[in-house]
């Protein structure tokens, strides 16, 4: 069994950069309301954003040996995504490992366990999304794997899929769909810009959202 593998293929930098222009909410809506990770996964700081290929990690709860190995082998721009059994009572990552990530140019961390040293993480500005904050330490005992398909936040994450995160949450885009997701996201933003202009021009929400036939079908009655 091979424990440490690289991402088999990464999307092009141009496709990742194109997708990074859009919020996770826009991308989620644009790709058919798919790919949203659980809202329980939150950024350490609301200003944190990330976008990059997933370097996936299968880890045991309360154990960060695989996370440390991932930091060692991940490439610049990769987002380390850790499946550790949704165990909240462990601080598997802190300021020391964040500095290791920054030195390597790693793009961020998403983990379904806890982190600590959150004040320092905010000061460093390294993007971290986690299930909890916890001061308890971890062991280094159980060897897992890197870059197999995992489940984090209720979504399947394949190595090389693109993870996008901001203050509102996280979304995953399949590696083969990154360019199309960026195109659809741009179309959605263009449409929303048109809605805003229509509101400024005096049109009602019912007009802009084309709600009249829906409300009629549902028998809406408005007091005269």
Tell me: the pLDDT tens digits for 28-48? 999 999 999 999 999 999 999
Mean residue pLDDT of the chain comes to: 98
Greatest extent of the chain over all pairs of C-alpha atoms, in Å: 73
How much is the pLDDT for 59? 98
* Domains delineated in the chain: 13-182 (3.50.30.40)
Question: Which residues, other chains included, contact 51 with Cβ-Cβ below 8 Å and sequence gap of 6+?
Answer: 16, 19, 20, 79, 107, 162, 163, 164, 165
Q: Indicate whether 1 pLDDT > 90.
A: no
Report how far apart, in Å, the C-alpha atoms of 199 and of each of 26, 59, 71, 149, 204 are: 20, 50, 48, 44, 6
pTM here is: 0.96
* Residue of higher predicted confidence among 219 and 1: 219
Q: How confident is the model at residue 51 (pLDDT cuts 50, 70, 90)?
A: very high
Kindly give, in sequence order, each residue whose CB lies less than 8 Å from that of residue 100, ignoring residues fewer than 6 positions away.
71
Average pLDDT over residues 106-135: 98
Binding site: residue ranges? Answer: 94-97, 116-117
168-221: per-residue pLDDT in tens? Answer: 999 999 999 999 999 999 999 999 999 999 999 999 999 999 999 999 999 999
First to last CA, the chain: 73
CA angle 12, 45, 133 (to 5 degrees): 110
Binding-site residue set for Mg(2+): 117
Minimal CA–CA distance to 38: which of 208, 168, 190, 140? 168
pLDDT at 131: 98
Known binding-site positions for substrate: 94-97, 116
Predicted local confidence at residue 19, as pLDDT: 99
Residue 135: pLDDT over 90:
yes
Structure tokens at 163: 């993870």
| 224 confidence band (pLDDT: 50, 70, 90) | confident
């Amino acid at each position: 069994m091979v424990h440490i593998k690289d991402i088999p293929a990464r999307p092009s930098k141009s496709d990742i950069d194109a997708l990074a222009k859009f919020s996770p909410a826009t991308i989620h809506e644009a790709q058919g309301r798919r790919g949203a990770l659980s809202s329980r996964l939150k950024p350490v700081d609301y200003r944190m954003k990330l976008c990059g290929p997933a370097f996936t990690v299968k880890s045991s709860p309360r154990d960060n040996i695989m996370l440390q190995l991932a930091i060692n082998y991940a490439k610049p721009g990769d987002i380390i995504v850790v499946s550790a059994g949704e165990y909240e009572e462990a601080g598997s990552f802190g300021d020391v490992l964040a500095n290791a990530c920054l030195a390597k140019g790693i793009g961020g961390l998403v983990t379904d366990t806890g982190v600590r040293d959150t004040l320092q993480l905010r000061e460093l500005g390294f993007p971290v999304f986690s299930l909890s904050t916890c001061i308890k330490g971890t062991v280094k005992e159980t060897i897992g794997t890197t870059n197999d398909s995992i489940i984090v936040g209720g979504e399947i994450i394949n190595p090389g899929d693109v993870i996008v995160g901001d203050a509102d949450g996280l979304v995953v885009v399949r590696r083969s769909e990154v360019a199309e997701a960026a195109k659809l996201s741009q179309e959605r933003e263009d449409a929303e810009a048109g809605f805003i202009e229509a509101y400024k021009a005096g049109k009602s929400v019912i007009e802009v959202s084309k709600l009249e036939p829906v409300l009629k079908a549902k028998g809406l009655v408005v007091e005269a």
